[in-house]
Amino acid sequence: MTTREQRKDDHIRLALGHPVTHSSFDAVQLVHRSIPAIKRSDISLETPLDSLSLNFPLYINAMTGGSKWAGEINEKLAIISRETDIAMAVGSMHAALKNSELIPTYRIIRERNPHGKVFANIGADVPLDLAARAVEMLNADALQIHINAPQEVVMPEGGRDFTDWLTNIEEIVRTIDVPVIVKEVGFGMSKETLEQLYGIGVKTVDVSGRGGTNFIHIENERRPKKDQSYLSEWGQTTPVSLLESQPFQQNMTILASGGIQSPLDAIKSIALGARAVGLSRAILTEVESNGLAAAIQFIETFKAHMIDIALILGAKNLDDLQQVPYVLSPELESWQRQRKLK
Ligand code: FNR
């Protein structure tokens, strides 16, 4: 097994083993109103997303590919996304771009879900020609570009030069003919990051905040001397990242992921301005612990419960959900004030 394949398997194993004990969404309370005045069949949460339309504002977010185990997981995730009619992203495709023998561990997603929405995934260090090849490899409907500087720095073998990221992203956004989603990997985004991305023409971002999968923790666990564990609270939580995104929500499509554990976390994300919500660790845990049938049921229930919450809130669609009033914890309100987000 190569170092890269070993790393892929370590990431899966450590993400599965890392319990998440509380939700960063507890700091946001939706305001209950007693008369919803709609019926369940009035509700449609269809989401226009750049030029891509999602039937439902939920997707399986980027995780894996590039090893035997990763290929088996991708096959199961593809079946889940097909059976539940939600979009799905693959994990970073660097391995397949470097070694064509590994392409089947990604392409299995398109094979198992030929008509579904599939997102390709590369890092921001990948130039335009390889980005185009990644999209082509999966006949992808969109391209995610991940930005993961803290993870790279904590990995001994990771990148240390980020000078080409903005220019690569700009060129890809300008040239490639599918929607581009720039995403974090669990460290969240700030208004300064969004300003930079907006400035180079990025229209869609996934803020992917702290609160779920934690790559500083995972990378530290991969080494005997866990010497950078003091960084494990680095970054903004998903609710904080969504507050940071509010000045941009008129002009950019904001997606949320990072620590989404329940349908209520998902609806709170939408109330804070997200247009759709991504799950990684939650679905990985479900499928690897309880199997394919249970994971399909998990997503079906998750979707049904999101609609139940929309019904209680009297929200017929995504725009209505984004108008739902909420109250922030003192800590979040202080962040909002200090950062002059209002
Ligand atoms: C990830 N994530 C990720 N993201 C990405 O853009 N490319 C990738 O290759 C990976 N790899 C990866 C592997 C594993 C095992 C996990 C669990 C996650 C990050 C993922 O897409 C997401 O941004 C974070 O995991 C936060 O969401 P959750 O896990 O808290 O729901």
* 213 annotated as a binding-site residue: yes
pLDDT at 156 over 90: no
pLDDT at 226 over 80: no
Q: Is the CB of 12 under 6 A from ligand 1?
A: yes
Phi, psi of 159 (to 5 degrees): -70, 150
User: What pLDDT shows up at residue 17?
Assistant: 87
Residue range 11-23: mean pLDDT, rounded: 89
Model confidence band, residue 275 (pLDDT cutoffs 50, 70, 90) = very high
CB proximity list for 135: less than 8 A, separation 6 or greater: 120, 143, 176, 178
Residue range 226-248: mean pLDDT, rounded: 94
Instruction: Give the pairing type, strands 118-123 and 87-89.
Output: parallel
CB-CB contact of 119 with 89 (8 Å)? yes
Q: Of 47, 56, 78, whose CA–CA distance to 295 is shortest?
A: 78
Q: Which two tokens stand for residue 33?
A: 């109103």
Q: Is the CB of 209 under 6 A from ligand 1?
A: no
pLDDT at 211 over 80: yes
CB proximity list for 71: less than 8 A, separation 6 or greater: 65, 104, 105, 106, 108
Question: Amino acid identity, residue 270?
Answer: I
The per-residue pLDDT for range 95-139, each reduced to its tens digit, is 999 999 999 999 999 999 999 999 999 999 999 999 999 999 999
- How many other CB atoms sit within 10 Å of the CB of residue 127? 13
User: What pLDDT shows up at residue 236?
Assistant: 98
Strands, E assignment, the chain: 28-30, 47-49, 52-54, 58-60, 87-89, 118-123, 142-146, 180-183, 204-206, 253-257, 276-279, 326-328
Could you give the number of structural domains in the chain? 1
Mutate to test the pocket of ligand 1, among 121, 155, 213, 262 (most ligand atoms within 8 A of CB): 213
- How many other CB atoms sit within 10 Å of the CB of residue 19? 6
CA dist 155 and 151 (Å) reads 6
Strand partners, 89: 119
CA dist 224 and 191 (Å) reads 36
Find the 40 Cα to ligand 1 centroid distance in Å.
Answer: 33
The per-residue pLDDT for range 290-341, each reduced to its tens digit, is 999 999 999 999 999 999 999 999 999 999 999 999 999 999 999 999 999 9
User: What pLDDT shows up at residue 78?
Assistant: 98
CA dist 72 and 67 (Å) reads 9
Between 54 and 49, name the one with better pLDDT.
54
Is the reported ipTM for this assembly greater than 0.95?
A: yes
Q: Of 30, 87, 88, 85, whose CA–CA distance to 62 is shortest?
A: 88
Residue 125 buriedness (CB in 10 A; 0-12 / 13-18 / 19+): middle
Instruction: Give the pairing type, strands 47-49 and 52-54.
Output: antiparallel
Between 93 and 221, name the one with better pLDDT.
93
User: What pLDDT shows up at residue 178?
Assistant: 97
Query: DSSP 3-state assignment of 307?
Result: helix
Query: What is the distance between the terminal CA atoms of the chain, rounded to a whole angstrom?
Result: 51
Strand partners, 10: none
User: What pLDDT shows up at residue 320?
Assistant: 98
Alpha carbon nearest to ligand 1 atom 12, residue:
63
Closest atom of ligand 1 to 183 CA is 6
pLDDT at 56 over 80: yes
Find the 115 Cα to ligand 1 centroid distance in Å.
Answer: 24
Find the 39 Cα to ligand 1 centroid distance in Å.
Answer: 36
List the domain range (segments joined by +) for residue 267: 3-339
Find the 35 Cα to ligand 1 centroid distance in Å.
Answer: 39
Query: DSSP 3-state assignment of 41?
Result: helix
Query: DSSP 3-state assignment of 327?
Result: strand
Between 224 and 169, name the one with better pLDDT.
169
**Residue 139 is part of a domain; what is its CATH number?**
3.20.20.70
